[in-house]
Amino acid sequence: MSLISTNPATSQRIHIYGSYTSVHIEASLKQAHEAFLGWRELSPKHRAKHLKSLARSLRSQLDDLADLITTEVGKPIAQSRAEIEKCAKVCDYYARHGVAFLAKEHPSGAHRHARVLYEPLGTILAIMPWNFPFWQVFRAAIPAIMAGNTVVLKHASNVSGCALAIEQVFHDAAVPEGLLHTLLIPAENVEALINDPRIHGVTMTGSTEAGRKVAAMAGATLKPGVFELGGSDPYIILEDADLDLAAEVCAASRLTNSGQSCVSAKRFIVINKVKAAFQKKLVACMAAYNVGEPFEPNTEVGPMARHDLRDELHAQVTKSVSQGAKVLLGGEPLDQPGWYYPPTVLSRVTKGMPAYDDEMFGPVAAVIGVKNESEAIKVANDTPFGLGAAIFTKNKRHARDLAPELDVGMVFVNEAVKSDPALPFGGIKQSGYGRELGIEGIRAFVNVKTLWVE
């Protein structure tokens, strides 16, 4: 089976990659396992030195790697450069803090001779998506590698060039051979990998539907997993919110990566008393974003990554409008080469519409009016997803009191939901389970071992 990379800005084919043979897969698994046997023996302090080398390798190739992201995904070039720098920062973070995170501990109240150890498991399978083709790999892989594991990467087929470049970054950093292997394989090969005894855990970022299937495979083999899946993040705008700030932050979040982010703002839940004013400001902010060729330095919104994604998004918009939603901005694919969809704002969104019920994975904002704060919380939680949420209010103390009422893994106040190397990242409900980043991320794939010595 062939894996095809296509330029979303032109719809022209970039490259056709052949799927790896069973011989190649076997050799990669063998090398990853053998690399693990040596890597786990290195002290965390020595592993940290190799992470610093990875950070240097990324920064030394930043422009070329960013160009590759933009070519394969259509991401505006400034955002692609920021993505590579963020990968370097996660290497820096775990190089700086990983030693402490993995140190043996004496739990409060435990017997004086008891200790808790954190030891690596083995080789981890990372199944990653296309929308942040470097960051999501490094976000998952670097904590696991710092913990003493090795990683094999099954990336999305449309970013095979990025997948191979990631492997090359590790090679160029002169880290021990075999810490990360890229496997160019179709989705149907995943189950055999999970069943292989040399795979000791699975981490996946992707759709909820795919996550259910992979989680079931991992569960059948009793292998631990971390799953970061879909999201329909609610952004609640309360009556006392700074509407200029809210509109600016909401627009920026909704249009990051041309709207193709699991944690971007999806549903804007607004108290009716300020809905008209907020909508006007949101439309103005989103209309001001420059849509264009992603290599142009002033482009802020590029094409969507695949034509089927654009078609699905437009079908969601069309159905929502047919059910009573009102288009305030955009709403039609751009008539030009490439898979462009303009910043779009839908108002009068109600339950039963795709804009209310489903994840809109593109530059479309759904505005939902509510009578009061309690209804806002109810609507925010009225979704199968539970990744992130944001609250906009001038009363920060009140926002802290509201945060526990939201059924999500992350709550931000007067700020967009985002990932940070120091903070646990992940969701609940159909948005998955487990956490990446922070101390929780490095301990996601370790053997938490109790040791008692008399």
Residue with tokens 């955009």: 330
Residue with tokens 């906009």: 392
Backbone phi, then psi, for 234, in 5-degree steps? -85, 135
Cβ count within 10 A of residue 207: 15
Q: Would you give the distance in Å from CA 345 to the centre of its chain?
A: 24
Token pair recorded at residue 340? 């462009």
- The residue from 72, 83, 228, 293 that is catalytic is 228
Token pair recorded at residue 315? 């079908």
Q: Is 90 helix (H, G, I), strand (E, B) or coil?
A: helix
Verify whether residue 228 is a known catalytic residue.
yes
Q: Please say whether the beta carbons of 128 and 205 come within 8 A.
A: yes
Verify whether residue 167 is a known catalytic residue.
no
Cβ count within 10 A of residue 187: 14
Q: Please say whether the beta carbons of 333 and 115 come within 8 A.
A: no
Please give the radius of gyration of the chain, using alpha carbons only, rounded to the nearest integer: 22
Tell me how many degrees the CA angle 39-42-46 measures, rounded to the nearest 5.
115
- Residue 453 gets the label, from left (phi > 0), alpha (psi -120 to 50) or beta, of beta
Residue with tokens 């109600």: 350
Residue type, 275: K
Return d(Cα 13, Cα 137) in angstroms, integer. Answer: 24
- The residue from 262, 285, 300, 436 that is catalytic is 262
* Active centre residues (catalytic): 228, 262
